[in-house]
Amino acid sequence: MNTNRNLFVVFLFSFLLASCAKEADPKLIYERYLASIQDMHSFEDKRFEEYISNRARGVVREKTGGIKEEQLSSFLTLFKAEAVLPSDSQVTLKKADQQTAILSITANNYPEQGSKQKSNIDFIRENGWKIDKIIIETSNGDFNYKSTTY
């Protein structure tokens, strides 16, 4: 009986420690996500999937499901090109509530002199923060480009 009580106390203490552990913030999660994409050698690695929501994983499966291997290589090149955090960017975390957050990143003179890039990364809570959508807008006097990932 005493052993069961001790096991229960250990379980309860472990649970309390785990629940009090500080959760990684969205910026750190986004940085890890970017690193995981840069580390991929083929699109089949899908190292980034642990950082994205269930909905976003479904979108990735849908977008890549019928693509041939050589096309996936081109897709990965584009994916890596967009997976950057410019060095002089301003990062702002806008929390809407306990279940959603938006990380806003603005970079002037990126990707080239005179241009501006703004990214909004939408997060939702699914066993911690997960990336649900990424919208990147790049503009210059001559062009505007917008891409939505997930």
Q: Return the DSSP state at 126.
A: S
Q: What is the CATH number of the domain that holds 53?
A: 3.10.450
Domain coverage including residue 111: 2-149
Is residue 2 over pLDDT 80?
no
The domain total for the chain is 1
Structure tokens at 144: 């505007």
In tens, the pLDDT along 12-67 reads: 344 434 444 567 899 999 999 999 999 999 888 888 999 999 999 999 889 888 88
Is residue 106 over pLDDT 70?
yes
| CB 91, CB 27: distance < 8 Å | yes
pLDDT of res. 126: 96
Residue (of 114, 109, 112, 105) closest to 136 by Cα position:
105
Q: Is 89 left (phi over 0), alpha (psi -120 to 50) or beta?
A: beta
Over residues 130-137, mean pLDDT: 97
Which residues on adjacent β-strands are paired with residue 144? 139
pLDDT of res. 105: 97
Residue (of 30, 36, 37) closest to 85 by Cα position:
30
Distances (CA, A) of 32 to 26, 70, 84, 117, 131: 10, 27, 11, 20, 11
pLDDT of res. 108: 95
